[in-house]
Amino acid sequence: MAELTNPVPDAALRLPMQRVDHPSAPSRAGMMQFKQASVLPGFNLALGYTVVYLSLIVLLPLSALVLKTTSLSWSAFWQVVTADQVMAAYRLTFGASLLAAVINLFAGLLVAWVLVRYEFVGKRLIDALVDLPFALPTAVAGIALTTLYAPNGLIGEWLVPLGIQVAFKPLGIVVALTFIGLPFVVRTVQPVLQDLEAELEEAAACLGASRWQTFRKVIFPATVPALLTGFTLAFARAVGEYGSVIFIAGNIPFESEIVPLLIIGKLEQYDYAGATAIATVMLVISFGLIFLINLIQWWHTRRHGMRK
Amino acid sequence: MLLATATVQRSAATREPTWLRWLLIGGALAFLGFFLVLPLLSVFAEALRKGWALYWQALVEPDALSALRLTLLVTAVALPLNLVFGVAAAWAIAKFDFKGKSLLITLIDLPFSVSPVVAGLVYVLLFGAQGWFGPWLMAHDIKIIFAIPGIVLATVFITFPFIARELIPLMEAQGTEEEQAAMVLGASGWQMFWRVTLPNIKWGLLYGVILCNARAMGEFGAVSVVSGHIRGLTNTTPLHVEILYNEYNFVAAFACASILALLALLTLAAKTWVEWQAERQRALDARMAMDE
């Protein structure tokens, strides 16, 4: 739905596409063929180019990664990916990513709500600015956040008397990952709130529901699939994030060292097998998250279809 | 997103009390202020902390200039590659029905979910000194890793899906009737593409190019793995910012960062403009359809 109402949504948060069944569903005979007949030219050229380019740029390199991992024996692989320092990095990376995604879940819903429902000065500007984390290079975000949240920084100096240190601590990682994931929930929820029919809320009000009840029972359930998708996208992005985190994290092993940094550390020591093993674990997790997002989308289209 | 700005008129029963509205707006603005606006402003404030003279000096310093040149060069190579791919992929996927389409789309999306560090690593495994093609490349005196080709490859990987991702849903929604009509009227394949398809997808295409460009210029993690950080040779601007920052040369680091921040703001402005144009075109098309 969102795809039709919003002609040019953001590539980076584009949801995995669901195939819509066209009325001209393939006939039984057509099912046997690889491609349905069409008068349009260029299929072989376009698909051939796509597959070759995809294989060269993405598939071949990624399979090199997996093949390189198999040069390690299973026990050696297991030893590398479950070493204490690596386990601490997983805990930190996933913990901080989860926390940042949860912050973005609530803040994203709030921002989307305010942008869709209310009028205020500078709204268009704010709306355009939400995509800043997609456009701003991560290294720039990293040094800017570090300067702000350092103990002598503009925000940091207010937090020191409260006993909170953000920069160079795990909390700093959460701040950086919150910045990076900020647009995802906003941009997935915004079109859903926009499309929500006012009649539904009017009906709820007529039936005697309070505004809070309407939100809880009518509005919120409609946004759940979009919230979940945005949450998972933000989480997936945060898990792999490197540029913005390394400046603010402090990068102390066992305390503030994220998994991508661990991979770089191993590479710098020419431990290619070790770096590859950890990277493979990250890759498998990425695949898992893609699968999860596809699943949420599938569930969403099914639910949406049923409501219609 | 222009749609969001058209607030629906609501009756009192489906509105929140005024105090709650202002509380929510205040909360949202405070969050965006702390996480978006302040970091953005701080880049410029830090860059100009010691005055314009030092700021300018940091920008025209030879290493900074060569980093900027490299960034532009890498983008100039990566962007057209992914543009051609994006159009080809969208043409095959959106205009034809074939088996394995969903799988193909998922694979195209893959680079979005792979950590930039992992993206850089895979090219080291292929082309590095100890990689698959390492010995062969060494024998023929070709350098890919710790050289410009590696940076280009890593950037191409990271920005791989951007344009295809914009075009596929757009072209799927447009269907194939107009192209079929062109074919029936005797147009050649290229005539049809240039006169029918391209004008239809131009805003989506431009939108994808803008996003792809922003990411290509700003990529840090993947490029950092393959670049080798050789000053004046294989340093892109984001990497140059890192080096300056780690040398505690904050004014120069933020000066170079401010150029990237300006590019980001330019990107957002261009993106908003394209959205506005696409919206206008859509409204125009809808009116013409109604007139008929």
**DSSP state string for chain B:** --GGGSPPP--GGGS--HHHHHHHHHHHHHHHIIIIIHHHHHHHHHHTTT-HHHHHHHHHSHHHHHHHHHHHHHHHHHHHHHHHHHHHHHHHHHH--BTTHHHHHHHHHHHHHS-HHHHHHHHHHHHSTTSSSHHHHHHTT---TTSHHHHHHHHHHHHTTHHHHHHHHHHHHH-SHHHHHHHHTT--HHHHIIIIIHHHHHHHHHHHHHHHHHHHHH--HHHHHHH---TTTT--HHHHHHHHHHTT-HHHHHHHHHHHHHHHHHHHHHHHHHHHHHHHHHHHHHHHHHH-
- Give the residues of chain B that fall short of pLDDT 70: 1-13, 292
Q: Which of residues 118-137 of B touch A (CB under 8 A)?
A: 118, 121-126, 128, 130-132
Question: Alpha helices of A241-271 — where are they, by DSSP H?
Answer: 243-249, 259-268
Res. A306: pLDDT tops 60: no
Q: Cβ of A37 under 8 Å from any chain B Cβ?
A: no
This complex has an ipTM of 0.87
Q: How confident is the model at residue A2 (pLDDT cuts 50, 70, 90)?
A: very low
Residue A32: count other Cβ atoms within 10 Å of its Cβ.
8
CB contact under 8 A, B118 and A211: no
Q: How confident is the model at residue A50 (pLDDT cuts 50, 70, 90)?
A: very high
Give the per-residue pLDDT at B9. 54
CB contact under 8 A, A57 and B35: no
Q: Taking CB atoms and an 8 Å cut-off, how many pairs form between chains A and B?
A: 362
Q: Are B254 and B246 in contact (CB under 8 A)?
A: no
Q: Cβ of A207 under 8 Å from any chain B Cβ?
A: no
DSSP A24: S
A143 HSE (CA, 13 A, CB side): 33
Residues of B in contact with A187 (CB under 8 A): 1
Q: Are B47 and B64 in contact (CB under 8 A)?
A: no
CB contact under 8 A, A40 and B27: no
The beta-carbon neighbor of A282 closest among B118, B130, B224 is: B118
Residue B104: closest C-alpha in chain A? A51
Q: Cβ of A136 under 8 Å from any chain B Cβ?
A: yes
Please tell me the distance from the alpha carbon of residue A45 to that of residue B109, in angstroms, as a whole number: 21
Residue B203: closest C-alpha in chain A? A8
Q: How confident is the model at residue A3 (pLDDT cuts 50, 70, 90)?
A: very low
- Amino acid found at B147: A
- Nearest-Cα distance to chain A for B148, in Å, is 16
SS3 A35: strand
Q: Which two tokens stand for residue A47?
A: 């698909």
Q: Cβ of B67 under 8 Å from any chain A Cβ?
A: no
The beta-carbon neighbor of A154 closest among B10, B38, B257 is: B38
Instruction: Give domain limits for chain B.
Output: 17-47, 51-291
- Nearest-Cα distance to chain A for B56, in Å, is 18
Give the per-residue pLDDT at B3. 44
Question: A141 CB contacts (<8 Å, ≥6 apart)?
Answer: A133, A176, A179, A180, A243, A244, B39
Q: Cβ of B108 under 8 Å from any chain A Cβ?
A: yes
- Superfamily of structural domain A73-303: MetI-like (1.10.3720.10)
Q: Which two tokens stand for residue A278?
A: 């950890």
- Nearest-Cα distance to chain A for B279, in Å, is 8
Please tell me the distance from the alpha carbon of residue B129 to that of residue B113, in angstroms, as a whole number: 27
Please tell me the distance from the alpha carbon of residue B119 to that of residue B124, in angstroms, as a whole number: 9
CB contact under 8 A, A283 and B118: yes
- Nearest-Cα distance to chain B for A255, in Å, is 20
Three-state secondary structure string covering A99-128: HHHHHHHHHHHHHHHHHHHCCCCCHHHHHH
- Alpha-carbon torsion, ordered A23, A26, A27, A31, to 10 deg: -160
Residue A141: closest C-alpha in chain B? B39
CB contact under 8 A, B1 and A236: no
Please tell me the distance from the alpha carbon of residue B205 to that of residue B285, in angstroms, as a whole number: 18
The beta-carbon neighbor of B264 closest among A127, A132, A187 is: A132
Q: Where are the beta strands (DSSP E) in chain A?
A: none
Whole-prediction pTM:
0.86
Q: Which of residues 223-282 of B touch A (CB under 8 A)?
A: 224-225, 238-239, 241-242, 245, 250, 253-254, 257, 260-261, 263-265, 267-269, 271-272, 274-275, 278-279, 282
Q: What percent of chain A has pLDDT over 70?
A: 88
Give me the mean pLDDT over the A218-224 stretch: 89
Q: A161-206 pLDDT, tens per residue?
A: 898 888 888 999 999 999 999 999 999 999 999 888 888 888 888 8
Residue A264: count other Cβ atoms within 10 Å of its Cβ.
19
Q: Are B163 and B83 in contact (CB under 8 A)?
A: yes
Residues of A in contact with B273 (CB under 8 A): none
Give the per-residue pLDDT at A35. 81
Rg of chain A over all Cα atoms, to the nearest angstrom: 23
Give the per-residue pLDDT at B11. 61
Give the per-residue pLDDT at B123. 92
Give the per-residue pLDDT at B120. 93
Please tell me the distance from the alpha carbon of residue A63 to that of residue B255, in angstroms, as a whole number: 40
Give the per-residue pLDDT at B10. 59
Q: Among all chains, which residue has been given the structure tokens 């072989």?
A: A44
Reported CATH class of domain B51-291: mainly alpha
Give me the mean pLDDT over the A238-255 stretch: 89
* β-bridge mates for residue A35, sequence order: B98
Q: Are B275 and A8 in contact (CB under 8 A)?
A: yes
Give the per-residue pLDDT at B12. 64
Please tell me the distance from the alpha carbon of residue B160 to that of residue B174, in angstroms, as a whole number: 23
